[in-house]
Amino acid sequence: MQPMGTAQPLGAENDLYQTAATPDITSPKGFTAGGVHCGIKRKRKDLGIILCDVPASAAAVYTTNVFQAPPLKVTQQSLAVEGKLQAFLCNSGNANACTGEQGLLDAFRMRAETAACFGLEEHRVGVVSTGVIGELLPMDRISQGISHLAIQTGKEGHEDFCRSILTTDTCIKAAEVSVVIDGKTVRIAGAAKGSGMIHPHMATMLAFVTTDAVIEPPVLQQLLREVTDETYNMITVDGDCSTNDMVVSMASGLAGHAPLTPEHPDWAAFRAGFAHVSRELAKMIARDGEGATKLVEVKVTGAPDVVTAKQAAKAVVGSSLVKTAVFGADTNWGRIFCALGYSSPLIDPEHVDLAVGPVQLVKDSQSTGVDEALARRYLEEEHVRFHVHLNQGEAEATAWGCDLTYDYVQINASYRT
Amino acid sequence: MQPMGTAQPLGAENDLYQTAATPDITSPKGFTAGGVHCGIKRKRKDLGIILCDVPASAAAVYTTNVFQAPPLKVTQQSLAVEGKLQAFLCNSGNANACTGEQGLLDAFRMRAETAACFGLEEHRVGVVSTGVIGELLPMDRISQGISHLAIQTGKEGHEDFCRSILTTDTCIKAAEVSVVIDGKTVRIAGAAKGSGMIHPHMATMLAFVTTDAVIEPPVLQQLLREVTDETYNMITVDGDCSTNDMVVSMASGLAGHAPLTPEHPDWAAFRAGFAHVSRELAKMIARDGEGATKLVEVKVTGAPDVVTAKQAAKAVVGSSLVKTAVFGADTNWGRIFCALGYSSPLIDPEHVDLAVGPVQLVKDSQSTGVDEALARRYLEEEHVRFHVHLNQGEAEATAWGCDLTYDYVQINASYRT
């Protein structure tokens, strides 16, 4: 499995940071990582860890699903103490969700054993699980796995960790940028996993963002919340918001600049870099949606307000009919209008324009008469962009998703069998 | 194509009406129907009509999609005059949606030509279209088709009409009951079409309900609204609410009893019969969802309120992951809990029970340890029932949908090509 490439975003923002060609979650100062096979999955790595040499400022956002899994509750308890983490343990193959009292005890045990193994205080350890819902964790295997975790910096630690968190993902997902704060280089790196039960409500999958920036936990928490709304919350694969979704960020503070706040002169650069890493991870998750062959990007401009723009972009990218049409490279733009039309009552139905890539298919809600073969050819590409202009105002939003394919059905009709 | 069977619903309500073994939209006194091939589709019938000997009390509910198609606007204008209709024309193969000024002119022309052909006032004609969005109607073919409509009572008129309204449907959909009002037999019959862009927002497909009951337009409108909420609005196929959805009812008043109102002693019977026809049509639409192999029924009981019950039932039946699991006969109940968990923040996550048919899989949100092979065998059946008990209150709701299959992808990846 190769990591997916990190494309440059459009706009002037990308002057504020440098993207790294080979992302590495251990690249920010102070971080190490590892991953092993402990026996939850048959063969592949299923237990991973991120460690920090020092207590790192930490922040997290969690799924809004009411069946929030026990490990998320344990992580919340850890963060509540002082907002600092030194280790984050993640297993894949079993979500430890809908597992009652025993599930909660197991999550606490994962935390306790990780703390004991690495000589940390329990409240400086976070835990998370992903995989099948409703089955108890094989705790003996996890205990053994924790003791076998080999911790490394660089490519090996990074890849071992990235692999250990995957479920039906087909590739590892990572991104990294560097920014300059007070004249010092600060790194921001991230790793994530998808790829089913992905839908925009709060955090919608697992993502880990490390940085050596100096930043207090409440500032990091606020930033993470804002960026999550623009990135992870703007992707959808299948409309299902999981019980275990979480985004977590750890900042070691080892870069040695003045603490970051929105008032810091280099805040814009840090925010842009942090958002870039999150956006790239979000797009990789969308592109690697179960069974997907294409990344679909829907940009809505000219909306009366941001909420309408977001609803419209997410409705189009989430529509099963649009997703199958993209899979079939069918320029059935009526489906896009159908989705726009149920996304919000605030949309003016008379003046909507639509471009499929470079092809202007619709102007003022009617066909432009352009040769649809042009659009069909464009839809054969792997990254498909729709641009909807509502001609109502200045607000805009972008959402990402993927096509709906035979393989999505195949993967999910036989996930456990 | 054979019409689908009309099963008896559970509960005491079905003592109030008799179901007809061979439903017929022309069975209520005063109605005739017909359907022809006029050339919008390649071969199959594509233009149908329901006629009434007298001006019938009429009621309709329409899609909430902002791109509401022109024919719906024309029908609304007709109904606004006096709430009576004598003819309803429907074409399939082209939705006349996103067609601008010309689309509206075409819909008015359909109405005018139907009125002229059958000697009716224009405001006593309703029109609707279903099919591809964004293309202008071939009006010459429709004009010719109108003049060729052969109007009949009985099986032939019924089947010609039912066939003429279909798009990707695989079978005609009809239901009929009789009820006794003031000692007289009153018939209520319905015909409908699905089967893509089906999602619960207001009316979600096309359905036509005829009756010879005596009932004033405002009373019929109120009843249609209520029943639509319990039936058509509780089905989903793919989450896409179309631009053209409509449910329309016409009551000839020829049964000759005292006018029906909620105060009439036989109101309960009429309401139950009307709801039965609507519910059966809704279930047939769900069962015949694009590519579907199974009807999925989700009943939620013990909810704190009806809104929560409806949201929960619809979330489960609409979940792509649940739908693919049903297709694969996989007892992956975590997906059902995942869907319940994002349906409403009011659900108590600790005390949810789940039965798959006769098999109690989950009690108090944890596996009962029952042999899942039993549930897997049950999931092979064609009508799959999930029963979710929330143990929070007395409210309940039922939703219907279908499985998500390879054929759904196939149909929609190549709908127009």
Could you tell me which residues of B are annotated as the binding site for substrate?
167, 193, 204, 290, 412, 417
What is the dihedral sign for C-alpha B402, B408, B411, B415? positive
Strands A206-211 and A18-19: unpaired
Q: Nearest-5° angle of CA A266, CA A270, CA A274?
A: 170
From A197, A199, A338, residue closest to B240, measured CB to CB: A338
Tokens standing for B411? 């149909």
pLDDT of A14 reads 67
Task: Judge whether A193 is annotated as a binding position.
Answer: yes
Tokens 């008990």 found at:
B389
Could you tell me which residues of B are annotated as the binding site?
167, 193, 204, 290, 412, 417
Q: How far is B176 from chain A (nearest CA, A)?
A: 32
Q: What are φ and ψ of residue A211, in 5° steps?
A: -155, 155
The model's pLDDT over B243-276, given as tens digits with 9 standing for 90+, comes to 788 889 999 999 999 999 999 999 999 999 999 9
CA B107 to chain centre: 23
CB contact under 8 A, B332 and A415: yes
When the pLDDT of each residue in chain B is averaged and rounded to a whole number, the result is 89
Q: How far is A271 from chain B (nearest CA, A)?
A: 30
pLDDT of B200 reads 37
Task: Judge whether A417 is annotated as a binding position.
Answer: yes
d(CA B303, CA B310): 9
Banded pLDDT at B239 (limits 50, 70, 90): low
Q: How far is A174 from chain B (nearest CA, A)?
A: 26
Q: DSSP class of residue A341?
A: H
Q: Where are the domains of chain A?
A: 14-287, 295-413
Q: How far is B281 from chain A (nearest CA, A)?
A: 23
Kindly tell me if the per-residue pLDDT of A8 is higher than 70: no
Residues with Cβ within 8 Å of A179's Cβ and at least 6 positions away in sequence, in order, are A16, A17, A18, A185, A186, A188, A266, A269, A270, A272, A273
What letter represents residue B371's amino acid?
D
The model's pLDDT over B23-43, given as tens digits with 9 standing for 90+, comes to 999 999 999 999 999 999 999
Residues with Cβ within 8 Å of A391's Cβ and at least 6 positions away in sequence, in order, are A302, A348, A351, A352, A353
Please name the residue of chain A whose CA is at the shortest distance from the CA of residue B379.
Answer: A413
H-only helix segments in A83-199: 100-118, 139-148, 154-164
Q: Which of B32, B75, B114, B204 is catalytic?
A: B204
Say yes or no: domain B12-287 is CATH 3.60.70.12: yes
The model's pLDDT over A94-124, given as tens digits with 9 standing for 90+, comes to 999 888 899 999 999 999 999 999 999 999 9
For testing the chain A interface, which of B68, B409, B415, B417 should be mutated: the one with the most A CBs within 10 Å? B409
The model's pLDDT over B345-397, given as tens digits with 9 standing for 90+, comes to 899 999 999 999 999 999 999 999 999 899 999 999 999 999 999 999 999 99
CB contact under 8 A, A98 and B362: yes
pLDDT of B198 reads 53
Catalytic residue status for A228: no
d(CA A15, CA A189): 18
For testing the chain A interface, which of B98, B101, B102, B132 should be mutated: the one with the most A CBs within 10 Å? B98
Banded pLDDT at A6 (limits 50, 70, 90): very low
Q: DSSP class of residue B260?
A: B
Report which of residues A292 and A253 the model is more confident about.
Answer: A253
- May I ask the CATH class of domain B295-413? alpha beta
Same fold, A14-287 and A295-413: no
Q: What are φ and ψ of residue A116, in 5° steps?
A: -65, -45
Q: What are φ and ψ of residue B293, in 5° steps?
A: -115, -10
Kindly tell me if the per-residue pLDDT of B61 is higher than 50: yes
* Contact yes or no for B297/B385 (Cβ under 8 A): yes
Residue A191, sorted as left (phi over 0), alpha (psi -120 to 50) or beta, turns out to be: beta
Banded pLDDT at B9 (limits 50, 70, 90): very low
From B332, B334, B409, residue closest to A406, measured CB to CB: B409
Strands A206-211 and A246-251: parallel
H-only helix segments in A212-319: 217-230, 267-287, 306-318
Half-sphere exposure of B218 (CA within 13 A, CB side): 0
Please name the residue of chain A whose CA is at the shortest distance from the CA of residue B339.
Answer: A240
The model's pLDDT over B288-311, given as tens digits with 9 standing for 90+, comes to 888 889 999 999 999 999 999 999
Please name the residue of chain A whose CA is at the shortest distance from the CA of residue B367.
Answer: A134
pLDDT of A118 reads 97
For testing the chain A interface, which of B335, B340, B407, B411 should be mutated: the one with the most A CBs within 10 Å? B335
pLDDT of B4 reads 38
Kindly tell me if the per-residue pLDDT of A2 is higher than 70: no
The model's pLDDT over A339-369, given as tens digits with 9 standing for 90+, comes to 898 888 899 999 999 999 999 999 999 999 9
pLDDT of B291 reads 83
CA B407 to chain centre: 22
From A238, A340, A344, residue closest to B320, measured CB to CB: A238
What letter represents residue B370's amino acid?
V
Residues of B in Cβ contact (< 8 Å) with A99: 366
pLDDT of A187 reads 96
CB contact under 8 A, A412 and B325: yes
Kindly tell me if the per-residue pLDDT of A69 is higher than 80: yes
pLDDT of B411 reads 77
pLDDT of A207 reads 87
Q: Which of A32, A63, A130, A204 is catalytic?
A: A204
Report which of residues B82 and A416 the model is more confident about.
Answer: B82
Residue B30, sorted as left (phi over 0), alpha (psi -120 to 50) or beta, turns out to be: left
Residues of B in Cβ contact (< 8 Å) with A417: 328, 330
User: ipTM beyond 0.85?
Assistant: no
Q: A14-287, what's its fold?
A: L-amino peptidase D-ALA esterase/amidase (3.60.70)
- Across the beta sheet with B353-356, the strand order is B366-367, B359-363, B353-356, B383-389, B295-303, B395-402
Cis omega (within 30 of 0) for bond into B195? yes
The model's pLDDT over A141-176, given as tens digits with 9 standing for 90+, comes to 999 999 999 999 989 999 999 999 998 788 899 999
Kindly tell me if the per-residue pLDDT of A5 is higher than 50: no
